[in-house]
Amino acid sequence: MADLFSTVQEKVAGKDVKIVFPEGLDERILEAVSKLAGNKVLNPIVIGNENEIQAKAKELNLTLDGVKIYDPHTYEGMEDLVQAFVERRKGKATEEQARKALLDENYFGTMLVYKGFADGLVSGAAHSTADTVRPALQIIKTKEGVKKTSGVFIMARGEEQYVFADCAINIAPDSQDLAEIAIESANTAKMFDIEPRVAMLSFSTKGSAKSDETEKVADAVKIAKEKAPELTLDGEFQFDAAFVPSVAEKKAPDSEIKGDANVFVFPSLEAGNIGYKIAQRLGNFEAVGPILQGLNMPVNDLSRGCNAEDVYNLALITAAQAL
């Protein structure tokens, strides 16, 4: 796991990437930003009252040299942010509503990213996924050609690294969604120097069972291959056919995936969420994420049970996405 993050850290160090952390009074956030700034990896911006944040850092014996602190209540550029917010929401927010919204640290932090004052955002240590993702979807929005954002986990154990998607966002993706998730997940894999070999998962392998659910995945494979013909991608597969060479030989002998997939696209959120947690708890894999993909600029969501190292690592990932 150390190798995974040292590779990412090498990519981002010295690139002057600015990452905003809306939860400025959280101990884990302060510990991580102190270390990020101290190691000169990236430039952290934390949101909150400067006196309270400095007092908290002092209490924790942390130095915040190199960390910028912005308070929405005293921020000099607030009027510009309010106007930009009203414009971006296209009639869905008045100036008064924008002012109120921008006192919320997640909305304020997301606007800093949108306006280019920061390159990405990391939140969720003290907020729900919805609180982190909603401002991103309203302000930053998804990339052209991408209809929905999705959430992946990097699953790591020793030298082994896999990408699991979507384990965080889309409850019941359709064929178009699954194809999109597959392509975006392959791009995320490349960011970690994983050469993507994408398996679209189901309870059927190459038509061994027929149902609306299996057809949905088979259709997604066709769409993904049309959109990204250069990708090594196939399905539909049961997990063993995607992962075990001897099973692949029997169940899908003609496939370009020979039981050597490393990016796994689950057919639904419940399958993805259950799958990554089984690998994490029974297989002793470390689960890094969820990493949100498909947005114009990177916003990532921490687990509320995270520690300072998780914050540090997700900040590295966010910086790598920004580059």
Q: For 19-52, write each residue's pLDDT tens digit.
A: 999 999 999 999 999 999 999 999 999 999 999 9
Q: Check residue 306 and give its pLDDT.
A: 86
Q: What confidence category does residue 92 fall into, taking pLDDT thresholds of 50, 70 and 90? A: confident
Q: What is the DSSP string of 108-167?
A: HHHHHHHTTS-SEEEE-SSS-HHHHHHHIIIII-BPTT----EEEEEEEETTEEEEEE-S
Over residues 9-24, mean pLDDT: 92
Q: What confidence category does residue 158 fall into, taking pLDDT thresholds of 50, 70 and 90? A: confident
Judge whether residue 1 has pLDDT over 70: no
Structural tokens at position 262 = 């490393």
Structural tokens at position 186 = 């392959």
Whether residue 292 contacts residue 133, with contact meaning beta carbons closer than 8 Å, is answered with yes
Judge whether residue 247 has pLDDT over 90: yes
CA distance 161 to 46: 31
Q: Check residue 129 and give its pLDDT.
A: 81
Could you tell me how far CA 280 lies from the centroid of its own chain?
A: 18
Judge whether residue 4 has pLDDT over 80: no
Whether residue 155 contacts residue 255, with contact meaning beta carbons closer than 8 Å, is answered with no
Q: Where are the domains of the chain?
A: 2-141+296-322, 150-286
Q: Where are the alpha helices (H) located in the chain, listed in sequence order?
A: 2-12, 27-38, 50-59, 78-89, 95-101, 105-114, 129-135, 175-191, 212-227, 239-243, 245-251, 269-281, 308-322
Mean pLDDT for the chain?
Answer: 93
Is the CATH number of domain 150-286 3.40.50.300?
A: no
> Which residue from 270, 49, 26, 40 is spatially nearest to 172, judged by alpha carbons?
270
Q: Check residue 2 and give its pLDDT.
A: 59
Domains 2-141+296-322 and 150-286 alike in fold: yes
Q: Phi and psi for 290 in degrees, rounded to 5?
A: -70, 135
CA distance 33 to 40: 10
pTM score > 0.75 for this model?
yes
- The HSE-up count of residue 250 (CA atoms within 13 Å, CB side) is 8
User: What is each CA distance from 175 to 200, 201, 242, 251, in whole angstroms?
Assistant: 11, 12, 19, 23
Judge whether residue 125 has pLDDT over 90: no
> Which residue from 276, 279, 239, 275 is spatially nearest to 259, judged by alpha carbons?
239
Q: When comparing pLDDT for 257 and 11, which is higher?
A: 257
Neighbour count for residue 254 (Cβ, 10 Å): 6
Regarding beta strands 232-237 and 286-293, do their DSSP bridges make them parallel or antiparallel, or are they unpaired?
A: unpaired
Q: Check residue 287 and give its pLDDT.
A: 86
Q: For 164-191, write each residue's pLDDT tens digit.
A: 999 989 999 999 999 999 999 999 999 8
Exposure string for 308-319, b = 16+ CB within 10 A, e = fewer: bebbbbbbbbbb
Range in 59-63, 105-109, 144-148, 262-266 with the lowest mean pLDDT: 144-148
CA dihedral 167, 217, 147, 243 (to 10 degrees): 40
The domain 2-141+296-322 is placed in CATH, from the list 3.40.50.620, 2.120.10.70, 3.40.50.720, 3.40.50.10950, at 3.40.50.10950
Q: Check residue 17 and give its pLDDT.
A: 95
Is residue 189 classed as helix, strand or coil in its secondary structure? helix
Whether residue 176 contacts residue 147, with contact meaning beta carbons closer than 8 Å, is answered with yes
Rounded percentage of the chain residues whose pLDDT exceeds 90: 79
